[in-house]
Structure 1
Amino acid sequence: MTISSRVRLICLTGALALSVTSLPLSWPMPAYALSDIKDITPHPPEEQTPSAPGPVPGEDESPADDAFPVIPDPDPLIKNPETEQADPATSEEPAPEVIYDIEKAPEPVRRMRKLIMDAAASGDIQALKPLFDVGPNQTQIPLQTPEQDPIAALKGLSGDDEGQEILAILLDVLSTGFVQLDKGTPDEAYVWPYFAGKSLALLTPREKVELLRIVTAGDVAEMQEQGNYNFFRVGISPDGRWKFFNVGD
């Protein structure tokens, strides 16, 4: 730079300085509201709260089944027995099979049945006496006293003096189907008629006709009120012993 240029620069600088110092001291300054003044006071850094860890990949994000206890619904105040399930320990056993084919019974059973029917068909009630079992397993028949003669007891149940009505009942009963009761126990027996092992409420129309061949309609109505068959029945053990010929439930 030449000398003349430097001199002009110095002169220009001095003139600018003089003009600034000659400005009035009462130059207005802008006013600021308190809200416009920024707080420059240093503050300690805020303590950061650690964020909760995210779910582990592969794990089920839903709460476990046992995380919250489940309160069962209260039982109804009035229970309907028809909707409640039957207790297996107290439920009734299924009805035994009704058998019409005598060949399905053991041979000793078939033999004793034929002997009883032949004696009944003879018309002489005394023909039954040799077929009764004696001793501790004697044939059970309706006796008024333990010492009573079984034939005399049967005559006393008959509507005639000779006991022929009882013989007719024996033939009718042994001509029906039969059931096997108390299987596998000391009381096991093949029983005639099968009504002794089946609910009367479950009888078909055909079976009701079979029942009416043994008893009257009035007897059937009475049995239905009581819920079971209560007329004469015959039981023969699997080894061919005549176990009982009795009447009642």
Structure 2
Amino acid sequence: MMPSIGASFAFRTLLILLMVGGPVTYAAALTEPKRPPQTELQKDGQTPNDGMDDPDAAEDSAEDPATGLPMPDSLIDKNAKDNAGPAVDDHSDIPVEIILDPALLPAPVQKLRVALVEAAASGDVERLRPLLGDAKEPTQIAIGDAPEDPILGIKSISGDPDGREILAIMLDILSTGAALVDKGTPNETYVWPYFAEKSLDKLSPPEIVELYRIVTAADVVDMKEFGGYNFYRIGISADGKWKFFVAGD
């Protein structure tokens, strides 16, 4: 039975569409460029190059060309300057202050210094006894193998039996300026002579003359070889207590 004209026309039309339309659609699919899958950044509306203009970001994401692995973080913290706290000075040494004018000493220190000067000028070593510290805070008398009694100890090192040579030395020492050591601490002390806390190589000519009133030029040479002043010295605390009368370094 021959097909009808309508059916034959429909069949031919379908055949043409299959022969023409199919290949065209297939060719278009082959030539369409492949697109990589979207990243999370692209889904949020950002492009893959976002942030690459930041040199720090590029540096942080750098890879080792040999291994392809991320490079380790830089040891230099670029924000260290901004994040750093106030500078801390690790140095704990407290500079020594030289006081040449007795009027600038604290009142308790001035009072004891005057009392020591008056006792020494009297020629009676026993007048030093009331000025010594008590059992709780004794005055350190370190001058060789001194007896337990500090006054007898002072007499034992004097060139005369009455201790007057030491009294004269005390007068000379207290006539110089004082060095304030450990300022602002519980051990704050005023030390005579100030040479005890100053480099002998840095003394001015007038200071050297003042030092020669206490020791000889030969003694100063020996002190420089030793490394500093090592003759007698007197220490008074900031609250006016006699802390020590010692010799040596």
Normalising by structure 2, report the TM-score: 0.63
Q: Which residue of 2 aligns with 1:33?
A: none
For structure 1, the 5+ residue unaligned runs are 1-58, 70-87
Would you tell me which structure has more helix in proportion to its own residues?
A: 2
The equivalences for 1:173-192 within 5 A come to 173-192=173-192
Paired positions, count: 193
Paired amino acid for 1:164 = R
Q: Does 1:238 align with 2:227?
A: no
Q: Is the 8 A contact 2:146 2:154 kept in 1?
A: no
Q: Which residue of 2 aligns with 1:139?
A: 139
Per-residue deviation, 1:196: 1.2
CA distance in 2: counterparts of 1:124 and 1:152, whole angstroms: 12
Q: Which residue of 2 aligns with 1:248?
A: 248
Normalising by structure 1, report the TM-score: 0.63
Per-residue deviation, 1:142: 2.3
Per-residue deviation, 1:104: 1.4
- Partner deviation per Cα, 1:39-90 (whole Å, 9 max, x = no partner): xxxxxxxxxxxxxxxxxxxx99x9x989999xxxxxxxxxxxxxxxxxx86x
For structure 2, the 5+ residue unaligned runs are 1-51, 63-71, 73-88
Per-residue deviation, 1:184: 2.6
- Partner deviation per Cα, 1:96-116 (whole Å, 9 max, x = no partner): 221111121110000000000
Q: Is the 8 A contact 2:143 2:157 kept in 1?
A: no
Per-residue deviation, 1:145: 6.2
Q: Which residue of 2 aligns with 1:107?
A: 107
Aligned residue for 1:191, secondary structure, equals strand
- Partner deviation per Cα, 1:215-247 (whole Å, 9 max, x = no partner): 011110010001111011111111111111111
Per-residue deviation, 1:175: 0.3
Percent of aligned pairs with the same amino acid:
52
Rate the CA distance shift 1:165–1:186 in 2: closer, same or farther, 3 A: same
CA distance in 2: counterparts of 1:135 and 1:94, whole angstroms: 30
Q: Which residue of 1 aligns with 2:124?
A: 124
Per-residue deviation, 1:129: 0.7
Q: Which residue of 2 aligns with 1:156?
A: 156
- Partner deviation per Cα, 1:161-206 (whole Å, 9 max, x = no partner): 1111000001000000111111233321111100111111221222
CA distance in 2: counterparts of 1:172 and 1:185, whole angstroms: 28
CA distance in 2: counterparts of 1:188 and 1:175, whole angstroms: 21
Aligned residue for 2:98, secondary structure, equals coil
Per-residue deviation, 1:94: 6.8
The structure with the largest alpha-carbon Rg is 1
Q: Is the 8 A contact 1:95 1:197 kept in 2?
A: no
Q: Which residue of 2 aligns with 1:222?
A: 222
Rate the CA distance shift 1:177–1:67 in 2: closer, same or farther, 3 A: farther
Per-residue deviation, 1:136: 2.6
Q: Which residue of 1 aligns with 2:166?
A: 166
Paired amino acid for 2:245 = F
**Superposition CA RMSD, Å:** 3.5
Paired amino acid for 1:171 = L
